[in-house]
Amino acid sequence: MLIRLFKSGHPIHSIVIIIIAIVLWLPSILKQQIYSLEEFSAPLFELFVHLSGTNHIVQSCISLVLIIVTALITNSLISNSNITSKTSLLGFFFFIFFIFSNTNYLESNRFLIINLLLIITLHELFGLFKTEFTLAPLYNASLLLGIAAMFYLPLLIMVLFLWAVLLVLRINKWREYIVGLIGISLPLIFILVWQFYNDESYILINNLISLFNLEFVNIQQTYLNLIILMLLAGIIIPSFLYQINTLFEKNIALRQKLTINIWLFVFTLIAILIDFKSTVSLSLLAIPSTVLLSHLSFNIRKIKWIDIYVSIVFLIIIINQYSSLFDA
């Protein structure tokens, strides 16, 4: 089964996962994607689309590169943080597993770019354990989150995530809290000044105000997408509860890292709910969910039924990706 195959990974298994990613990616390049600039509400994403163009083949290729790079970094962080073993490829596999779980997740590169920024942010925050000088990695993490927020404005709430991390690490100096706020605010201030100079500041201000206009949106999904979403919830929620219940069985460093991931899951979920207009934004949960499921799969003894469950869901994901080619 898949979990047992990648739990004690061999270098050749990395190639297998990359092939799996390409197989799951192929339908996106065969199916025309439509990009509408009117739907974008984040300045850096508009800039990215203008620079890279709206050609669906180019966008799909960029998506694949972003997915594989982010998956590799995620796996490296998970294994080096002792969440799994050094040779495990669970992080690599589960990120691919989550990011391809919905046929809509590859419609744009917005959340794939954000996921790359989030895993680098997590790397910086985990680095706080290794240094007495916390201001530099904390500033790097907050600046990355600020840049991510310029791709998806609800992520501005992640300043609360940074403060939660400081509480977890028992860092009580006021400077760290101010640095976190400054770092995440800088990209926003820079863009506001630039738009003010060009007499366009109303655009970003209106987008920020619109975040407070909570509206019920009827989101259309295929039956397979909905089934997969429910099946994923059926394994992510138990993984979340398992991680919370086993925290105090770990050493202090690992316990704090897992707690940081729990808070990352909570605050990314809140950011999604603030402006939930499409299930595409759910792909932001891929990184914390990958850590949750990697931790569960590596530590639980009776892995058989979880392995079967994940393998069945993975098979449905493959069917779902290719069934989208036949949609009218």
Inter-axis angle of helices 304-323 and 11-30, nearest 10: 30
**What's the residue count for the chain?**
328
- Calculate the dihedral angle through the C-alpha atoms of 76, 80, 84, 88, rounding to the nearest 10 degrees: 50
State the average pLDDT over residues 94-109.
Answer: 82
Rounded Cα distance between 219 and 205, Å, is 26
Residue type, 264: L
According to the model, what pLDDT value does residue 322 have? 87
According to the model, what pLDDT value does residue 37 have? 45
Least trusted range by pLDDT, from 27-41, 227-241, 245-259: 27-41
Rounded Cα distance between 186 and 114, Å, is 17
Helix (H, G, I), strand (E, B) or coil at 194: helix
Residue 231 has pLDDT above 90, yes or no: yes
What is the average pLDDT value for the chain, to the nearest integer? 84
In percent, how much of the chain has pLDDT > 90? 41
pLDDT in tens, 188-204: 888 888 777 777 766 67
According to the model, what pLDDT value does residue 57 have? 78
How many other CB atoms are found less than 10 A from the CB of residue 215?
8
Residue where the block lists tokens 């891929």: 286
State the average pLDDT over residues 243-263.
Answer: 88
According to the model, what pLDDT value does residue 184 have? 93
- DSSP letter assigned to residue 138: H
